[in-house]
Amino acid sequence: MASLRELYPIPDIDPCWTVPQNFEASFDWEYDDGRKQMMHLYQKGKDMQWDALERIDWSLDLDEENPMQIKDEMGGIAHLPLWEKMSRKEKAELRRHQQAWTTSQFMQGEQAALICAAKIVQQVPDLDAKFYASTQVMDEARHVEAYKKLLQAFGVAYPMTGPLQTLVDQALRDSRWDMTYLAMQVVIEGLALAAFNNIRETAGNPLAQQVNAYVMQDESRHVAFGRLTLKEYYPQLTQKERDEREEFLVEACYHMRDRFEARELYEALDLPVDEIVEAQMASGYQQMFRTMLFSRIVPIVRDIGLWSDKIQKAYTEMGVIGFADVDYGELMQHDNERAEEFDEMNKRKRQGYVEEVAALGESGGVAAAE
């Protein structure tokens, strides 16, 4: 089977990306019992490990003309004249590329999270945090595996988008361990959770729903891990240090809000990029989606204490300040429940298959006896 790099419609993509780093690896000689909440997260991280090949029902197929069965209106270009002029085949190809681009960004972000989690294991000073971060490393590897397998079914994939690559580069180069948390655990994974949720709740294809639901179950814990660690650490900072974090946070949020333009996708298909991006930005659905992206970030930012006038002003201008009162615990619970619903669905399907085979065996036995 072809590597995903061979499926990129963009030429001259390097086979790897290296980011120079300069930070200290920290050993904890205390070996104490650790914080109760952190050790609880660590235990959940151990208990909730799963196998991407076994838990997900890979026998499910993607639709040929609309792989994840997402409504065309959600793409923001269904009302453009160029869409009306497209043939059925051209529309199907555009849907495939759009959905593959989105899934590719999920996969690329999960590899970034894998590397950042490994960095956190080395950098963070407390052993209990190292314990939990080590479970996250395994989680992220599994997520990359799942999205890679899903992308192979699309037959096309895309490299990491520029805005995401810029933020990942900053997270990896910064020598301060909390900045890796802030960039990855809060901003990147917070945005990813909202985007995963969009697929989980709007896609009509059960395979796409499952992959995102199971990944979300893990990622909710990862964001909670960042929340717990930074909430304890940030009160110790000087005002100058807090100002630096808040400046980074505001810039990162604006930066990531604009990462979904997908210009490289339309360039690869030789479509009018500016016209499509303008239509997307004017789309009511896309405007709502860009707002909902911050539903997981804003309550976490408030909870960790980075809630100055500057932060609130930025979130007010972005139209997302209303998410400040969201109960993140309820969101985590809902993520768990949705994943368990898919587990139950797959369990019933497997049970039905076993019963069907057993019934066929019995009927065959009766026929043979006669």
Look up the CATH number of the domain holding residue 242. 1.20.1260.10
368 located within any domain? no
φ/ψ of 24, rounded to 5, equals -95, 135
Cβ-contact 245, 179 below 8 angstroms: yes
331 located within any domain? yes
10 Å CB burial of residue 362 (0-12, 13-18, 19+) is exposed
CA distance 341 to 138: 23
Q: Spell out the residues 6+ positions from residue 195 whose beta carbon is closer than 8 angstroms to its own.
A: 102, 106, 293
170 located within any domain? yes
361 located within any domain? no
Q: How far is CA 269 from the centre of its chain?
A: 25
17 located within any domain? no
Burial 58-77 (b: 16+ CB within 10 A, else e): beeebbeebbbbbeeebbbb
Domain residues for 42? 4-11+37-356
pTM: 0.92
For the chain, what is the domain count? 1
10 Å CB burial of residue 91 (0-12, 13-18, 19+) is middle
Q: Residue 21, Cβ neighbours under 10 Å: how many?
A: 13
CA distance 260 to 277: 10
- The half-sphere exposure of 157 on its side-chain side, counting CA atoms within 13 A, is 21
252 located within any domain? yes
27 located within any domain? no
282 located within any domain? yes
| pLDDT tens per residue across all 370 residues of the chain | 668 888 899 888 888 999 999 999 999 999 999 999 999 999 999 999 999 999 999 999 999 999 999 999 887 788 889 999 999 999 999 999 999 999 999 999 999 999 999 999 999 999 999 999 999 999 999 999 999 999 999 999 999 998 899 999 999 999 999 999 999 999 999 999 999 999 999 999 999 999 999 999 999 999 999 999 999 999 999 999 999 999 999 999 988 877 778 899 999 999 999 999 888 888 888 788 888 989 999 999 999 999 999 999 999 999 999 999 999 999 999 999 999 999 999 999 988 878 888 887 777 654 444 4
